[in-house]
Every structure is written in structure tokens, then in C-alpha cells.
Structure 1
Amino acid sequence: MSPETVAVVVVTFNRADLLVGMLDGLATQTHAPDAVIVIDNASTDHTREVLDARTDLPLHVTTTQSNLGGAGGFHLGVRAAYDGGYDRVWLMDDDVVPAPECLERLMAVDEDCLIAVREDLAGLLVEKAAVDFDLRNALAIKPKRASVDSTYADRASMPALVEVHNVAFEGFMARRRVVEEIGFPDPSFFIFYDDVDYAIRAREAGHHIWAVRDAVLVRQLDFNQQHDLAGWKGYYMYRNLFVVHLRHGENALVRIKPWLITLVVVLLSPLRGGRAEARNVIRAMAAARGMRRLTDPALPPR
């Protein structure tokens, strides 16, 4: 059989200096990618100059007219990889750097859905993919009950493959047949939870997702998941979390949870986020109701 082809999809926005390191990592892979599809989300820094200089990679660059968010960028990139006929697609953010053997380690695993395992600049395990993502228990405040890095002390203590329930679009790989079955990342998410939604859709279709211990991805920035819930990011965090529950909740009580969260946030708003957070969560709940079905652009190719 012929070796499988693989396209890397990179989404970037105004982080040209980080993008340089990411592309350097791709250029040193022991298994060279067949294509590197870069979605530049209308960057206004020197991203264009960085990309124009990379004659050492098989770049295919799309510059959008406006910022489509990570979700919109990955939607475009996965669609381009699918239309290009590649056997696998490997999704990558602009703030991670793959170790030289990362792609080779992934391609050696005969599974449909994989993730590389992230570490920080000090070599500490920081893989946040959930090993237990609970959409059954309505009393679970957060569906992520355990992650790779909360389960294993370090990379050495992990087995070679660890099954995970969700992913980040930083090192996630899927075969072409997965896209054919479940479709594309949903661009309507804009940011946050588009990767979670995609992983759940893959699992609902019967696919397992495996974290590959020896596929190393180095994160260049610290995780900052403490966003201002009264600001614009807070709106998307609430809305998209609610969408995940409405689409994928395994029982009626879990699907009711977004309404209960909205009520609690509004009642507690005088003590925490104030009117701004209350407005965010009310708007988020109203918008999430209209996103209960997968949007047409994300449907499987016909």
C-alpha cells in the first residue's frame, strides 16, 4: 500500500513571531508533511512576510477578508485538506512547536483519531484533553472530570496510548474517513469548544481518540483559561458550552443544565460579574438555542 498523505492545517492571527517557531518545527519533521495549509485570519502584523519567506515548506496560504476565529479558520483548513484529497489532516495552532519526530510518531499509529501530547517549555506535561468528559450527570458543574495531566504525573508515567474524550485543535489528527462521516469543524463557534464539539461528534460516530505519548508538542505560552466572563470572550465561553450540552447531553436533565446555569449566574451576578456577566449569559443562552443543530457548513461532504 502507498504511504498515507498528510496535510497540516495551521490557523494564525497576529502572532507572526510565534508562527515562525511553529513553522520551524514543521520544517524539521522526520516525516515531512505533504502540505501545510495556513489560514491567516486577516492578520495585521507581519504574518504575510513570515509566510512569504517560507520556501522550505509546501505552503498553501489562504488569507481571509476578516477574522473568522479559530473555528472558522479550522473549518476552512479542514475543508481545503479534504478537497485536496489528503488521507490525514493534522490541526495545529500557531503557538505550539512539534518535536522533530512528532508527525512520524502519529503517522505510525493505525487509528482514525489521534492527538499529540503537549508539554510546556520546561518539559512538564500540560495536556488538558479530558479522559473523562461527563455529559450524563446533570449535577456535574463542569463536564471535564479528569484530564491527561491531572491523571498522570508526567509523560513517562503514561501508557503509549491513552484514550481521551475531547481534544484541542493543537495537534489533533483525523483520517479522511472521519471527515466523510461527521463533517467539518463548525465555524459558528468562532472561538472555544469547536474542538470539543468535533471530538464528541467523532466519538458519537464510533471513533476512539488516542493521545500518543511519544508524539511531543511543545506549547510556547502558558495556559490562561481564566477569561473575563463579563467580557466578549465570556459570551462565547457561555454560549458554546451551552451548545455542547444542548447538542450532546445524554439525557434531558443534562440538556436543561444551560438554563439552570443561566439562572444561577443571573442570581449571583450582584456578587460576581455584575450586569455585564448577567447580560452575557442571557444572550448566550438565547443564541445557543438556535445552534442546537449542526450548521450546514459543518455537515458531511455530499
Structure 2
Amino acid sequence: MTGASSESVAVVVVTFNRADLLAGMLDGLAAQTRRPDAVYVIDNASSDHTREVLERHHGGDLPLRVTHSPDNLGGAGGFHLGLRQAYLDGHDRIWLMDDDVVPAPDCLEVLAGRREDCLMAVREDTHGRLVEKAALRFDLSNPLAIKPKTAMVETSYGSRSALPERVELENVAFEGFMVHRRVVDEIGFPDPTYFIFYDDVDFALRARRAGFRIWGIRDAVLVRQLDFDQQHDLGSWKGLYMYRNLFVVHFRYGENVPVRLKPWLIAAVVVLLSPLRGGRGEAANVIRALRAARGMRQHPSTSVD
């Protein structure tokens, strides 16, 4: 299923205080066998040497469009802004990219040659091990599924060689996700109110509910430079956002009343178990998260109008 390579492709990169990772990521884009038509970089008020890295690439092989935000918009706000810029500039496809991944040289060429509206590059670590955590099943119908992600690429297949040429996904990460502008026409932009975490899940759920299918493409290789370690951070400020945004997804998209009530159960269990787990910070986070999520039940307007 090929033939879309004549369409323009813009890359959106969001970065915050990871200049050295950003440099490697931009080098990877510059080495692509299919040149991106524009690269929109949203710098979330970085205080390190991010500006110097971006200045080195200006006038080079990449058609950079840099926005230095005066405030940290979070990943969600950065992707909202960058995708909006690329969309309003008329690009056909927008490839969303974090600053800690490096695409294989033919990654963009592989994706740009596909006709599907929603595509995902498949991630591996620096040792070549499959680390693609996109969900094959994201269950918002079963109240007994405490974690809605009940199957993912990494654990279901184990290696890239075991993957079919394409695999259907039920959620994505904004690390190598390519979306056609007609999807944005239909569902709008990513929701910036998430700040970090689950903005990509929210976008994927909206796309699928609008009738679009999402495909992970085996031969589109993206190398993740850092380990996944967010699951161990539930007592920190990041944990607050992880709980809040997980609850928002249940409130907005739960397919029945028991699923929409599940955040209350999760919060109660975390609080009850906190003396045994030593998780006072996590217990405080989950209470604050539940309160905040109740105020985000209604999706804000993110339409293109």
C-alpha cells in the first residue's frame, strides 16, 4: 500500500532542556533519505544550550521553523502548537517527534510511502531490542481492567522480526506518529490541557472514534535513546499528571458507567494501600488528581476553526 510520497511532510519536535538529545535527533532528521519539507521545533523555555544546538542547524540541511516559547507548555502544549503551525502552513502530513528518539535513515521514506492516514514508527532501544509500547488493545469497556492497556506491541511480539508488515494499534505515543491533515480536519488538534502524558492517547482515541485506523509500520525504525522509567515516579509531580490524565481518559471515553467510575476505585485502593507501600506522596497525588480530573471531563475545543 504505497503511493503517498508526493505529499508534503512536516516534522514537529518538542524539546525541553535536553539539548544533547535534541542534537542527535536533528542529526537523524538531516540524514533522512527522504528530506522533510519543514521541521517545526517547539522549545519549551529551555534553559540549557538548546538555542546553540538549533542555531547550528539553521541554514544547514534542515528547513527549521523554531518557536521559543516563553513558558513551558509541556509536551501536550508543544505538540498542540507545533501541529497547528504545520497544519496552518498547509502540509499534508505531520510527523510528531520527541527529542529523545532518532529515526533510522529511511524511516521517513518508509512512512511517506504509505497511504494510511495514521501511522506509527516502531521503536527499539539503542541495542536493537523492540520497545514499542503502543497498545494493541486499549480497553475502556471492561471495569475489571485496572490498566486499560491490556496488550502492547513489545510484549505481544517480542522482536521486530516477529511483526507483520503493519499492525493495527489502539493508541500511540507522540514519538514517531504521523498523521494526515484530513484527520486534523475531522478531530482537531491535540489537547494542550493534559500538559504531559496521555495527550497522545486522547488524540488516538478521538481519531479511532472518528473512523480512522492507526497502523504501526514494522520497517519504519525509530531508536529511543532513553529507558522507560515513568512508572516508578508516581509520588512526584509527574505522578500527579499521570494519575490525573489517566482519570480524564476514563471520564471522557469510558464506554460504560462502571468504567467511568473506575478512577474512584483506583484512588481508593491507592490511598488504602499507602501505609503498606510507604506512598504518602502517591496517595496525595491520587486525591489531587481525581479532583482535577473531574474538572476536565468535557473536552475543550481543539477544532481547526
The TM-score range, normalised by the shorter chain, is over 0.9
Q: 1:182: which partner in 2?
A: 187
User: Which residue identity lines up with residue 296 of structure 2 in the other structure?
Assistant: M
Name the aligned partner's letter for residue 17 of structure 1: D
Unaligned residue ranges in structure 2 (runs of 5+) = none
Q: Tell me, what secondary structure is at the counterpart of 1:53?
A: helix
Deviation at 1:262, TM superposition (A): 1.2
Q: Contact conserved, 1:161 with 1:212, CA < 8 A, in 2?
A: yes
Distance 1:60 1:274 in 2: 43
Q: Which amino acid aligns with 1:32?
A: R
Choose from 283, 300, 304 the match for 1:301.
304
Deviation at 1:91?
0.3
1:2 shift after superposition: 8.8
Alignment partners' CA distance in 2, 1:163 and 1:275: 39
Q: Is the 8 A contact 1:41 1:73 kept in 2?
A: yes
Q: Percent identity, aligned pairs only? A: 71
Q: Which whole-Å CA distance do the structure 2 matches of 1:49 and 1:294 have between them?
A: 38
Paired positions, count: 300
Contact 2:5 2:113 in 1 (8 A): no
CA RMSD of aligned residues (A): 1.2
- Whichever residue aligns with residue 252 of structure 1, its letter is V
Q: Does 2:65 align with 1:60?
A: yes
Q: Match for residue 243 of structure 2?
A: 238
- Residue 217 of structure 1, aligned match among 188, 213, 222: 222
Give the superposition deviation at 1:273.
Answer: 4.4
Is the deviation greater in 103-112 or in 260-269?
260-269
Other-structure match for 1:118: 123
C-alpha distance in 1 between matches for 2:259 and 2:148 = 10
Tell whether the 8 Å contact from 1:238 to 1:284 is kept in structure 2 after alignment. Answer: yes
Alignment correspondent of 2:10: 7
Structure 2 residue 273 is the aligned partner of structure 1 residue 268: yes
TM-score normalised to the size of structure 1?
Answer: 0.97
Equivalence for 2:291: 286
Partner of 2:135: 130
TM-score normalised over the length of structure 2: 0.96
1:269 offset after TM fit, Å? 1.7
Tell me, yes or no, if structure 1 residue 98 matches structure 2 residue 103.
yes
Instruction: Check the 8 A contact 1:163/1:210 in 2, yes or no.
Output: yes
What residue in structure 1 maps to residue 205 of structure 2?
200
For the 8 Å contact 2:5–2:112, the answer to whether it is kept is no
Segments of 5+ residues of structure 1 without an aligned counterpart are: none
Flag the 1:37–1:161 CA change in 2: closer, same or farther, 3 A. Answer: same
Contact 1:229 1:273 in 2 (8 A): no
**103, 112, 134: which is aligned to 1:107?**
112
Equivalent-residue separation in structure 1 for 2:278 and 2:170 (angstroms): 31
